[in-house]
Each structure stands twice: as C-alpha cells, then as structure tokens.
Structure 1
Amino acid sequence: MSNLLAHWRLRRTVNDRLANTAQWHTGRTMPSHRISSVTTNLAWLPDHHLPVAATLAHADDLIGQVGELLFACQSESDGLFELREESDGVVNRAVVASLTPIPRKLPMLVADALVALRGALEHTLFAEIVHRDGALGERVAKLVEMPARSTRADFDEWKERRDRKGPPSLSASGDLMCSIESLQPFQRVKSPADHPLARLASYTNHAKHRTPAVAAVMLPVVYREDQLPKSFADLPQRDERPLHIGEVVFESPVGDIVPLTLHPTVGLNRPGTDLWPVLMHELRDIAEWVRMQAVPRLITGGDPPTDALPASFDISVGHDDERRAIAEGSHTTGFDRQLTHLTAAKTARPGLIEIVGMTPGAPSLDLVRRWADHLTDEQAVEKAERLEAFRNIATAADQARAMGVVDGLLREAQEFVDEEA
C-alpha cells in the first residue's frame, strides 16, 4: 500500500481536485450534493403568491437546461477549443488553434431564464397590488412595474408618478414602495451597474429589443501541475474575456515538459460593457437574488424569512394541494445539478477509477469503470469526497484511516462486480 500513498501524495487527492473544480465553477466551496427539501408550509407565502413559486421553478429548469447544453459542449471530444504547439527554437508556445462554435440555443435559453426571473418580480408586484386594491383599470395597470433605477433621482421621479397616477398601494409612503426602493440598484452606491436587478434588467431589455446576450469560450485559469499553489485563490488568473484563435495561452523553454491544467468555460457579455462573467455564475447570482431576496421582500415587506422558497417543484403536473407540493420542493438548484454533473464526470469518477483500479486485489480496470459509471452523480461525488482521509497524513493512525477508505471503496466495487456476474 505504500506505493498507493506515494501516488496520492504526488498527484493530490481526488478531493483536492473536487475542491478546485467546485471553486472554479462556482466561486465558492463545493455545495452539498444531497438534495434538501423545505420542511415548513411557508406560512409567510400567502395563497395569492403561490404562482410565483412555479415561475421560479420554470426559471430554474431553464438554467438546468443551460447547464446540460454547456456540459454537452464541454464533453465533446475536442472540448471547447484546440491548441497547437509553436516554437521559435527557444520557446515553445501553446496557441489556440480552433474554437468550438457556441450553439445558438444557448444564449436563447439564457435569455428565457432571465426573462422568467424578471417575470417573477413583475408577477409578484402585480399580484400584491391586485390583492390589496382589487382589479385595476388598464391605464393604472400599465403603471405597475418593477423599476431598476441606478440613481435616487431617477427612482424618485418614477415614484412620484406612481404616487399621483398609480394604484393606492403604490403610494410614495406605503410599505410596498419601501420594499421596491430597498431593492433598487442605486442602493449599491459604489457600483449600481453590478447590482443583480441592474444586471437582470440589462440582459432582459437587450434580449427583448436587440439580441440575446453574446456567449463566448474563455480560459480564465491555466496552471502548471508541477507548481500547484496551496489554495485555489493563489492560482494565476487570466482576464475573463473571449479566447481568440492564434492567442498564446502558455509558454515554456524548449526542452521543458510541463504538465498543464486548463479550465475553459463559457462567458456571457454584459450588454454595453466589456465584461464577460462566467455564464453559469451570472445565472446563479441573479436567480439566487430573485428567489432569496427580492421576491420575499416584496411579499413580506421585511427581511427574507428563514424558510426560503424552494428552487423547484414539479410543475409538469397539476396539484390538488399546491402549497404542499411547493413545500416539498427541492433546494438543489439547476446550477448545483450542473456542478455536480460536471464534478462527477470530470473528477470524481475518473479519480475513483484510478485509485480503486490501482489498489492490489482490485477487479480489472474495465470492471472498476463499470462500477463507477453505474453510480449516480451524487453517489460518485460522495464517494470521492471520502478521500479527504488522504489529506495531511502524519501518523500511522492517519495512514490506517486512509487505507480503510480505499478498502471500503474496493469492497463496494467488488460487490457490484459480484452482483453483475
């Protein structure tokens, strides 16, 4: 077993790779892959606002479809791009040779998801006003909208008109107006354009009146595997911008053999700017803000309740008790599902196959691969996370615990093989 320990000390544990994958794709640590559900009846959510949960579930489903399409692009044999090597006799250069075309459907799905999220805000506001004031005439109804103002002066102008001509519940001094004001981009004094509502309005306005936002392949992270930093935060970061054919992504002296890890992704251009945030990050951030902050504040008039709306529930069928169906919905978002799928495919399953397959007494590599492939994404990630035991091995007890983890995985693989025989 000593060779096994040496191997993992050299290459890092699978868990290190899981952590780096999660931090790169999310900007945060790996979320729990276990599905969680709401355990209350969402008492703060009145019946006239139940439909917004379906709108949010629809948006989450669309984000999930974006993730699936991205995964399909990343899983193609050539990936998102190809490199070629060029040399001048002194320096070798890795140069972008080709880029995978982005499917037209991708920005359209992104636009649909963002329009659904904006609809969740508009529907919540309208439902609350109708509940308070009754049916609205067409002229008054046209004044009901969720503004996105970057300056207080612009918001005050919007507010004054609603106070004069809008429905009673949109009076300037009313609690609903206070909730709307608290959600405005100008509340972020230093950079109102970065406020989630400002970004949401920019994307949806651009998609409705011009074109869907533009997506492009990016390569923000390239690092040498023989010079790994202690944490993801210390990795050298490239600018978040589109890759171009002919671009040099790495250089090394002729004769050096350098193991590289590259983290390509797809970015989304914020309309009217040169900014290219990671597409899935942008969707995650805006969707989280709408579901966890904006909608609850519009409904309650105060801080968001601790029992949050679920990310999704089954909207493909009718429900006799919709409140119960919502309460039993999942908090695992489309973004989380995509991350788990990506982590399982790119790091968890390959890592399990490698470490179990090289263990003395293991079944053939083909059988180990069949075992890993039959696992769900959640199961694969959970089993790979057990390899945390390989971190910081300092004592004989640490070594025994790590070997126990491998032995346990080996037993599970062998049981699968025996059942298949």
Structure 2
Amino acid sequence: MVEPHQGLAWLPQHQHHVVFTLAHVDHLISRVSDMLFEYTKAGPLDLRNVADGELAHVTIAGVAPLPQAVSRFVADSLTQLRAALEHTLFAEVEHRLGRELTASEERSIEMPTASTSDGFGNWTRHRSRRDLSVLHEGAELCERIRSLQPFQAASSDDHPLKVLAAHTNLAKHRAPAVAATLLGTVRPDRPSADLVGSTETERPLRPGDILMTGPLYRQEPISIFPKVSVLRPHTRTWHVLLNELGELEQWVRTVAVPVLVAGRQDLETVPPQIDITVGHADFSAALAAAGTMSAKTRAEQRLQAAMGRDSMVEIFSLHSQFKGADILIRWLESLSDAQVIERLGTIISTNLSGNLIALDAVIRSLILEAENHSAATSRDTPGDT
C-alpha cells in the first residue's frame, strides 16, 4: 500500500470532509483509551484469599466501576464512524447526479446493511430511490455499495458493517454502548504445577469469581490481566473494547470509504490523526500535519511501554552496575513510548541470541545512559538559594 501523505489524489474535493470526520473519530477513541489506561493502571480488581480445606482460592471481592464516560465516548466514536459512511455516500450521490437532492430524496440516502442478496435488491428497488439512477442495480455506485454488504462475508454477523450498524442502532435509539470488565488472563509468575487458574470468562467479572487456586500455606506470585470489553447487541458476545473500535475504524477508513469513492482499497491511506481543534490553511496543510498511527495502535504502544518500563527496572536491578531504581525510573519516564519499546527490544533480541557477553554490554550501556541522564538533569536543576 502506498504510504500516506502523498496528497490523497484519489479523494476528490467533495469528499475531503470525511478525512476530518475520521480524525474526530480517532480523537474520540484516544479519549476512550486514556480512560481505560488509567482505569487498568489503578487496578480495578479487589482480591481476597479464601481458605477451602487445604486449598486457597484467589477470588474477586469487588470490581471498580467503569467511568460512565467510557460507554458514551464509545457510542460517540461508533456513531461518528457511521456518519462518515453516510456523509460519504450522500456526497457521492449528489456529486454524481450533479444537482441538489429534494427533501424526500435526502431522506432516502442511507448506507444499507443487507444480510442477503435479496435484501439488498429490495433496498435498491425501493420507491424512495426510483429517481436516483446512481443507486439502481447495475450502476457503478450501487455495485460499490453491494461489495461492502454483510452478505458478502462468510459470517454476516461478523461483517464490520453489520457490527457497526448494530452498535449504532443501539447507541442512537436505546442506550449507550454496554461495556464491562472481563477476565483476560491470569497466570503464575513462575511455573507451578500446584496452581490452577481460571479460564477466560465470557461475561463480566463479579464478586465471588475464583481466579486461581493453590495450596493454602504457600505464597505464589500471580499476574491478573482484566480486559474491558463491549457487548455486541446483535450476537450478545463480548469483544475487547479497543479492538472493536480499532477494527471498525480501520475498516471504514481503509476499506469502506475508498471503495465508495474510488471503487478500490489499494490506495494511499487516509491518515487517522489530524488535530481538528485548530484551523488549517487548506487540505494539503492538514494532511502535512497528520499522524499515521491510529488511536488503537498508540494505545497498544503505550501499554507495551508501561509494561516495558517495569520490566527494565526488574532486569537492571539484577545487574552488578545497578545503583538504585530512582535513577532508572526517572530516565525511563523521560523516554517516549517508542524509545522504551526500542530499547527493550534490543535487550530481548540480544538475550534470544544467547550471547551473554553482548547482553551484559547492552545492559551496561543502558544503565550508563540512565546515569548520564540523571547527571544532566541534576546540572540543569537550579540549586536552593
């Protein structure tokens, strides 16, 4: 695929609006990821050890409530994604007809969600669209819409358009998106045949749930990773919330919009991240300032970096050159998420090579980098007067 920021030559001027709507979606998803990061960082699970004969169970005593803003920002994100589709279709119909639509024609413009070919045919033949030749069967735009329909997939319930429509129908007409905390993974921090962990639950966690069982009189460290999920209204199945938002955003941005506008998807990518809270001189200027990393990818990188910072402190504490966690923590906090991931990647790849001398050299160089950072910041900090 062509790299972004070459000007989006395939996107005509009457469709420039969709780039800014998608940037708004990216901002909304980023707000969701911020809330979820703080929620999980705080530790949403209250745990209790419960004795049971010679065994002890790690159980859920309570689950911190999700901020009410989460469901509403999720609903806003999904609604704006559907708006991006509807606005793109409306602009394309009006442009192809070369005239403004009548009030009744405007009401007939909608992105259908057909689970069968016959259902799509009924949509094209509806009397409300009889004067809209560009939406008749066989017309180029109609065939593009057809190619995006759920019935084209092996499982129509899992098709992005069907999922998006189900979410937005709920959010617009009945209630905000339904989000909850489920169990992602629970595992011992070191191998232990005596510990038995719970499998993933396909329902929200609740008090009394058992996460791990082991011998009563032995302490074993374990790691528990909850997952904040969203309920699909039409299948009643739970899906990791940021994955759901990210996959739908990517489909609309990289598949649906290009197909509706240009009839193909192997095109220069619409950039996801543009600051629309400031004015841009023109469309080219907006693209030049755009970011290429989606909100979901940025959230994944932030989580990897947070875990990486903790891991690197643990790794360095085992080295003979280690001189205290404070210096390392301040240095790690000064690095960007990408820089942390890059440095941790170097440690991991060197370790996998099996060359212990090279691994020692890498760790020594990073500890030295942390010490140099500490010395530099100390010089830059004014002394007491």
Q: Deviations over 1:100-149 (max 9, x none)?
A: 01111100000000001001100111111111112110111111110111
Residue 108 of structure 2: SS of its match in structure 1?
A: coil
> Is 1:181 paired with 2:146?
yes
* Residue of structure 1 in register with 2:103 after alignment: 138
Match of 2:222 in 1: 260
Give percent identity, aligned residues only. Answer: 36
**Does the aligned pair in 2 maintain the 1:53–1:326 contact within 8 Å?**
no
Superposition CA RMSD, Å: 2.0
Matched, 1:336 2:293: no
Give the drift of 1:349. Answer: 1.0
Aligned to 1:165: 130
- What is the one-letter code of the residue matched to 2:232? R
Aligned to 1:220: 184
Contact 1:67–1:338, Cα closer than 8 Å, also in 2: yes
| Alignment of structure 1 residues 64-103 onto 2, 5 Å | 64-76=30-42, 79-103=43-67
Amino acid of the structure 2 residue aligned with 1:80 = P
The more displaced of 67-76 and 311-320 is 311-320
C-alpha distance 409-166 of structure 1, shift in aligned 2 (>3 A) = farther
Q: Distance in 2 between matches of 1:358 and 1:83?
A: 30
C-alpha distance in 1, partners of 2:44/2:198? 21
Contact 1:53 1:312 in 2 (8 A): no
The superposition leaves residues 291-345 of structure 1 with CA deviations (integer Å, 9 ceiling, x where unpaired) of: 11000000001x2133111111121122222134225521211111212222222
Task: Read off the aligned partner of 2:312 and give its amino acid letter.
Answer: L
In structure 2, the residue matched to 1:361 is 321
**Among 12, 15, 19, the residue aligned to 1:53:** 19
In 2, the alpha carbon distance for the partners of 1:84 and 1:236 equals 15
Query: What is the TM-score with the length of structure 2 in the denominator?
Result: 0.91
Are the structure 2 counterparts of residues 103 and 37 from structure 1 closer, same or farther at C-alpha, using a change threshold of 3 Å?
farther
**In 2, Cα distance between equivalents of 1:239 and 1:88:** 22
**2:266 is equivalent to residue 309 of structure 1:** no
Query: By how many angstroms is 1:207 displaced?
Result: 0.7
Local SS of the residue matching 2:212:
strand
Report the alpha carbon displacement of residue 37 of structure 1 after superposing the two structures with TM: 7.2
Cα offset, 1:168, TM superposition: 2.2
Verify the 8 A CA contact 2:105 2:129 in the aligned structure 1: no
Tell me how far apart the structure 1 counterparts of residues 61 and 335 of structure 2 sit (CA, whole Å): 36
**Shift of residue 415 of structure 1?**
1.1
Other-structure match for 2:381: none
Q: 1:270 aligns with which of 222, 229, 232?
A: 232
Structure 2 residue 5 is the aligned partner of structure 1 residue 44: no
- Measure the CA separation in 2 of the matches of 1:258 and 1:355: 20
Is the Cα–Cα contact under 8 Å of residues 389 and 405 in structure 1 kept in the other structure? no
Distance change in 2, residues 1:164/1:286 (3 Å) = closer
State how many pairs are aligned.
Answer: 372
Offset from partner CA, 1:75-115 (integer Å, 9 cap, x none): 22xx1111101112222111110010111110000000000
**Structure 1 regions of 5+ residues with no counterpart?**
1-35, 229-234
Distance in 1 separating the partners of 2:288 and 2:3: 7
For residues 28-72 of structure 1, the C-alpha deviation after alignment (integer angstroms, 9 at most, x for no partner) is: xxxxxxxx9724111111111111000000001000000001111
Indicate the residue corresponding to 1:418 in structure 2: 375
8 Å contact 2:108–2:129 — kept in the other structure?
no
Alignment of 1:375-414 (within 5 A): 375-394=335-354, 398-414=355-371
Per the normalisation by structure 1, the TM-score is 0.84
Shift of 1:270: 1.0
Letter in 2 for 1:141: E
How far does residue 255 in structure 1 lie from its aligned partner after superposition? Answer: 3.3
* Contact 1:162/1:171 (<8 A) preserved: no
CA, structure 1 residues 48+91, in 2 after alignment: closer, same or farther (shift >3 Å)? Answer: same
Give the letter aligned to residue 218 of structure 1: L
For 2:319 and 2:3, the matched residues in 1 are separated by: 38
Amino acid at match of 1:349: R
Asked if 1 retains the 8 angstrom alpha-carbon contact of 2:258 and 2:267, the reply is no
1:94 match: secondary structure? strand
Q: Give the C-alpha shift of residue 171 in structure 1.
A: 1.9
Higher RCO (C-alpha 8 Å, min separation 6): 1
- Quote the residue 1:63 is aligned against: 29
